[in-house]
Structure 1
Amino acid sequence: MTTTFRRSSPSALGIDAAGVDRLVIALEGAPGVEPHSIMVLRHGEVAAEGWWAPFAADRVHLLYSLSKSFTAAAVGIAVRAGLVDLDATVISHFPELDAEVTDERTRRMRVRHLLAMASGHRTETIERARQLDPTNTVRGFLLLPVDEEPGTVFAYNQPCTYTLGEIVRRVSGTSLLEYLRPRLFEPLGIDDFAWCRDDSGAELGYSGGYTTTDAVAALGQLYLQGGVWNGERLLDQDWVAAATSTRVENPDEANPDWSVGYGFQFWMARHGFRGDGAYGQFCIVLPEQDVVVATTGQSLDMQAVLDAVWEHLLPAIDRPGSTADDERLRARLAGLALPPVVGGPLGDLPDGSASVAGSPSARLGAGLEALHLSHDTDRGWVLTLRDPWGEVVAPVGDGSWAIDGATATSGARDGDELSIDVRFVETPHLLHVRWDLASGTASAAWETEPLHDAASTLHRPAD
């Protein structure tokens, strides 16, 4: 866990705590929004922070596409070191593909175009790239002819970021993680960052990053400070200016905070700029207010999260607060929690165990092959989930969350009907398991579908 930031209070930093309190209430009450953490910085100090149990400050959280902003930082550091030229063509970094890549517009694609999601493609290319080459994403991407001149059209496009990661790996001779560790993570005090890798062993770059909420806040604070940290310049000032201003217009995006331009792996917003990831992972930077907001969650309505920040936090900045409101907010933040499953006690499990296996005629859902329940005097109820990649074994809390490794599990019973929720607490995701003990049938369903994992792989990857 990072320990860089000094802890203060909203009123000491010129924020009305009542506004932050209303923000928290709004996040908890908004349909389609489930917050897991929030951290508000002003002037580089923590004004407010909280985690909804069973999520916790020292636990990493899957960032999804917020990972892109960390990959971009690696490019920015490499630019400062003279290893990468933004105006170099992409193909120049992959000479082994020179003879194969014949499309003239693809050959004119530059590094800066990848950073701005302006490769010239009109739509996402990840699946088409994988179809062209299942083992080499960069090759598949570069063999796809582009639709428009690079730099002229925006399309959110995962292979752009993956290719940036591969460029950094090539010019540095090491992995993204190893490149960033002494140059970004250690200076910022980030001591836990992991990345999902593909079959080649390369970090995804565009997704799959795992880190803590305050690490997200630290990245935002670095950009807010123009690339300087504790007197040391980590990113060039002109890089920060380019990364955090519109490089390509994107007016066709549906939501208002997604249609005001895109920088270098940062979205512009109606207020400031941000990195974000699926299901509500946000790094929001408000330069005019000298504020950074970091959040994690499981939210289907990401626009609603931003709307709540604009409605409740922005008006609270530079508005007089009180120590009494500070204390009320502190108490609320200390008691944040997601409710366990509601119902009667679990009681005894008939015959000591129960199992259900999937079949073509009786599918369990959520990609599972089998479910198993057992009960013993030492551990209580235990749920086992099996999918094609492995097993998850999780004790079940009776009216509470039982935290074990990367899961927090809660169950309740109504006669022979069991309801068990499994939270994968290093990710946004929640699995609902429903079991009819009388009929011996069970089913599982995701609250939010994992984008590149199964139940047994929803945890911080090994370094």
Structure 2
Amino acid sequence: MNTITSTTFPEATGISASCIMDALREIDARGISMHSFLFCKDNCLVAEGYYAPVKKNDLHRMFSVTKSFVSIAIGFLQEEGRLSLDDSIVKFFPEYVPNTSEAHPWLLATTIRDMLSMRSCHASTTYDKFSSKTDWVKSFFTVAPTHKPGTVFHYDTSSSHTLCALVEKLTGMKMLDYLRNKVLNEIGFSKEAYCLTDGFGVSMGGSGLMATSRDLMLFALLILNNGKLNGKQYISADYIKESTSFQTATCVTGPVPSESQGYGLQFWIGEHNSIVCYGMGGQLAILLPEYNTAIVTTADTQGYQGGNQVIYDAIFCHILPELEKRQSPWTPSDEEKLAFEQFMSKLAMRPLNHNKAASEAWNNKFENVNDINTSFLTNFRPIMSSFEWTYVIKKASDAAEALDKNIINETIWDEISFEMSEPLTPSCTGKVSLKCHVFPSIVDSTVDSPVTFEFGFGALKEGTLNMTTHMGNRADEPVPVSMHYAASAEWLSENMLYIRVHLLDTSVGSIHIQAVFGESDITVFLRKQEETLFGEFSGHLYGTRQ
């Protein structure tokens, strides 16, 4: 059954709805691209909002939140007597260490506990995340150790991935399926949730969970209640307490306060005595046990230095003080209820609007189209007119050299086209398309069907990105994708167009296209903010109009 059946207004749990709205307003004002926000207190859901076009039942990439799920799976295996946290990891993978007498002593000494607490013998992730052809698990045992295990904290995703492989090896099941049988099905975890896999079929225990925001809240409530929900103790309270307690210091490597408070067993110790399931880009489950509160966010903070800290700071600045008051519940007025409901229901991702003042100035300057030199309008002022222009990219000849090096990058593109309709109206939309004819055997999906993004002005326009991208820009690592996106654009000046594409799928990130139109040519800057794919959208293009 779904554990989240009790919903109410914040005031019914002793906090004001205004503190939640203030926190979300601050996050929005700081330019964070939020996707969802959920707030539970005393096991009641008091706030739930999704930033359009994100929807309640959408599966979202949770990235390193996955690690906390792996920890719980290991806890269950310990309860079943299949392992001890003090077992050496080598014990379970003899195929990778056939001769222990020749193995490095630091590898042999590495225990499951060391790996859970990010104190393995490796200073960083051992596998090549850009490769689907290498064995990620094997790399943990074959890459040379850097230091004695059980000592210093180093964030090592290969530890989490290897522990996930251990779960799947011992159970004969996918990690998430094992957790479904143990707890997730009973507490209402969505049937559609799944975990991405590496090239060898092992669930990506360090970053692969695809789940809804409610799924993450259910998991957070399980942890907040020390493994007990609906009156049933699913996992040992002692294991929950151990895994969410300080095990090692992180202040030496933590770049921001929220990552400098310490680490448990695949759970972060956060500010203000919080416990955090932490995923790249703003995927967070923030637990405040002292106030019986859990907060879940999904977002995209990639490319925003300190972006996750902005979310933490807004919560601790506006919501925490309300919790600290420990007020008795009260009934909000009908007007207050309506205002909060409308606020949460109208949450939406913001379209581009960086240069509102400049855009208005340009529009005012050229309010009378007849005042504009006809040549200037035709050649330099696309903002004032609809158009369909195609440019031949002059950089395509460099692609052969890139291919020789097995590299796929922006040099593959040899044509870019722009279409604009209904200029200077609120409903103005556009489309940008890129074509590649140079290497059809590699980027075959772009030959007959160009890579196309549709976008709105002052509004996000949704679409599906269909193309073959590449892991780590490698020509021998093609990845066909059909990915949901939402895009908007704005004119930064009379001849400079900026398009931002939000990726809302197994990839969470963004693609940025800046185009400067000349009299008969174009200069384009491409930038992607995504972990492993879409290297084709990085660099500069120059072309002339056909």
TM-score when normalising by structure 2: 0.73
Which residue identity lines up with residue 347 of structure 2 in the other structure?
L
Taking a change above 3 Å as real, the CA distance of residues 349 and 156 of structure 1, as seen in their structure-2 partners, is: same
CA contact (8 A) 2:511 2:527 kept: yes
Taking a change above 3 Å as real, the CA distance of residues 239 and 135 of structure 1, as seen in their structure-2 partners, is: same
Partner of 1:293: 295
Matched, 1:444 2:526: yes
Taking a change above 3 Å as real, the CA distance of residues 384 and 194 of structure 1, as seen in their structure-2 partners, is: farther
Which residue identity lines up with residue 215 of structure 2 in the other structure?
A
Partner of 2:467: none
CA distance in 2, matches of 1:69, 1:357: 49
Structure 1 residue 181 displacement after superposition: 3.3
CA contact (8 A) 2:3 2:188 kept: yes
Structure 1 residue 436 displacement after superposition: 4.3
Matched, 1:331 2:331: no
Residues 186-197 of structure 1: pairs in structure 2 closer than 5 A? 186-191=185-190, 192-197=192-197
CA distance in 2, matches of 1:56, 1:349: 34
Partner of 2:84: 85
CA displacement, residues 115-159 of structure 1 (integer Å, 9 cap, x when unaligned): 1111133x213358999x962223222234434432222111011
CA distance in 1, matches of 2:384, 2:11: 46
Taking a change above 3 Å as real, the CA distance of residues 28 and 182 of structure 1, as seen in their structure-2 partners, is: same
Matched, 1:359 2:377: no
CA contact (8 A) 2:485 2:502 kept: yes
Structure 1 residue 444 displacement after superposition: 1.9
CA displacement, residues 66-115 of structure 1 (integer Å, 9 cap, x when unaligned): 22112222222333333332222101110123334511221121111111
Q: What secondary structure sits across from 1:82 in the alignment?
A: coil
Taking a change above 3 Å as real, the CA distance of residues 52 and 110 of structure 1, as seen in their structure-2 partners, is: same
* Correspondence for 1:397 among 449, 456, 466: 456
Structure 1 residue 240 displacement after superposition: 0.7
Identity among equivalent pairs (%) = 23
Taking a change above 3 Å as real, the CA distance of residues 50 and 179 of structure 1, as seen in their structure-2 partners, is: same
CA distance in 2, matches of 1:233, 1:166: 26
CA contact (8 A) 1:130 1:136 kept: no
Partner of 1:282: 284
Which residue identity lines up with residue 246 of structure 1 in the other structure?
F
Taking a change above 3 Å as real, the CA distance of residues 100 and 376 of structure 1, as seen in their structure-2 partners, is: farther
CA distance in 1, matches of 2:516, 2:28: 31
Partner of 1:258: 259
CA contact (8 A) 1:373 1:381 kept: no
Structure 1 residue 165 displacement after superposition: 0.8
Residues 134-153 of structure 1: pairs in structure 2 closer than 5 A? 135-153=134-152
Q: What secondary structure sits across from 1:274 in the alignment?
A: strand
Residues 447-458 of structure 1: pairs in structure 2 closer than 5 A? 449-454=529-534
CA contact (8 A) 2:4 2:45 kept: no
Q: What secondary structure sits across from 1:40 in the alignment?
A: strand
CA distance in 2, matches of 1:443, 1:208: 30
Residues 46-445 of structure 1: pairs in structure 2 closer than 5 A? 46-101=45-100, 102-121=103-122, 123-126=123-126, 135-191=134-190, 192-252=192-252, 253-270=254-271, 271-299=273-301, 300=304, 301=306, 302-317=308-323, 318-319=326-327, 322-323=332-333, 324-342=335-353, 348-350=386-388, 356=393, 359=396, 367-368=409-410, 369-370=412-413, 372-373=416-417, 381-384=430-433, 392-405=451-464, 406-412=484-490, 417-426=496-505, 427-436=507-516, 438-445=520-527
Structure 1 residue 372 displacement after superposition: 4.5
Decide which moves more: 200-209 or 405-414: 405-414
CA contact (8 A) 2:70 2:205 kept: yes
Partner of 2:425: none
Which residue identity lines up with residue 309 of structure 1 in the other structure?
I
Structure 1 residue 36 displacement after superposition: 2.1
Which residue identity lines up with residue 387 of structure 2 in the other structure?
L
CA displacement, residues 368-398 of structure 1 (integer Å, 9 cap, x when unaligned): 4436446599xx7444457967665443335
Answer with 1 or 2: which has the greater Rg.
2
Q: What secondary structure sits across from 2:241 in the alignment?
A: helix
TM-score when normalising by structure 1: 0.85
CA distance in 2, matches of 1:187, 1:432: 42
Taking a change above 3 Å as real, the CA distance of residues 346 and 111 of structure 1, as seen in their structure-2 partners, is: farther
Decide which moves more: 262-271 or 399-408: 399-408
Which residue identity lines up with residue 401 of structure 1 in the other structure?
L
CA distance in 2, matches of 1:394, 1:184: 41
Quote the RMSD (CA, aligned, Å). Answer: 3.3
CA displacement, residues 385-423 of structure 1 (integer Å, 9 cap, x when unaligned): 579676654433354222234111223457654332211
CA contact (8 A) 2:35 2:299 kept: yes
CA distance in 2, matches of 1:456, 1:11: 50
CA distance in 2, matches of 1:52, 1:147: 43
Q: What secondary structure sits across from 2:38 in the alignment?
A: strand
CA distance in 2, matches of 1:16, 1:214: 22
Q: What secondary structure sits across from 1:6 in the alignment?
A: coil
CA contact (8 A) 2:4 2:44 kept: no
Which residue identity lines up with residue 173 of structure 2 in the other structure?
T
Taking a change above 3 Å as real, the CA distance of residues 136 and 30 of structure 1, as seen in their structure-2 partners, is: same
Structure 1 residue 341 displacement after superposition: 3.3
Taking a change above 3 Å as real, the CA distance of residues 407 and 129 of structure 1, as seen in their structure-2 partners, is: closer
CA contact (8 A) 1:129 1:144 kept: no
Taking a change above 3 Å as real, the CA distance of residues 190 and 453 of structure 1, as seen in their structure-2 partners, is: farther
Q: What secondary structure sits across from 1:246 in the alignment?
A: coil
CA contact (8 A) 1:18 1:325 kept: no
Q: What secondary structure sits across from 1:48 in the alignment?
A: strand
CA contact (8 A) 1:354 1:373 kept: yes
CA displacement, residues 299-325 of structure 1 (integer Å, 9 cap, x when unaligned): 231222212211111111234664454
CA distance in 2, matches of 1:420, 1:64: 26
CA contact (8 A) 1:251 1:260 kept: yes
CA distance in 2, matches of 1:399, 1:356: 29
Tell me the matched-pair count.
Answer: 447
Higher relative contact order (CA 8 A, sep 6+): 1
CA displacement, residues 314-369 of structure 1 (integer Å, 9 cap, x when unaligned): 11123466445444333222222233235687963326x56658636699xx9444
Structure 1 residue 224 displacement after superposition: 0.7
CA contact (8 A) 2:246 2:262 kept: yes
Residues 2-81 of structure 1: pairs in structure 2 closer than 5 A? 4-30=4-30, 33-81=32-80
Q: What secondary structure sits across from 2:396 in the alignment?
A: coil
Decide which moves more: 412-421 or 333-342: 412-421
In structure 2, stretches of 5+ residues that fail to align are 354-358, 364-382, 403-407, 422-428, 437-441, 465-483, 538-546
CA distance in 2, matches of 1:450, 1:72: 26
Taking a change above 3 Å as real, the CA distance of residues 129 and 417 of structure 1, as seen in their structure-2 partners, is: closer
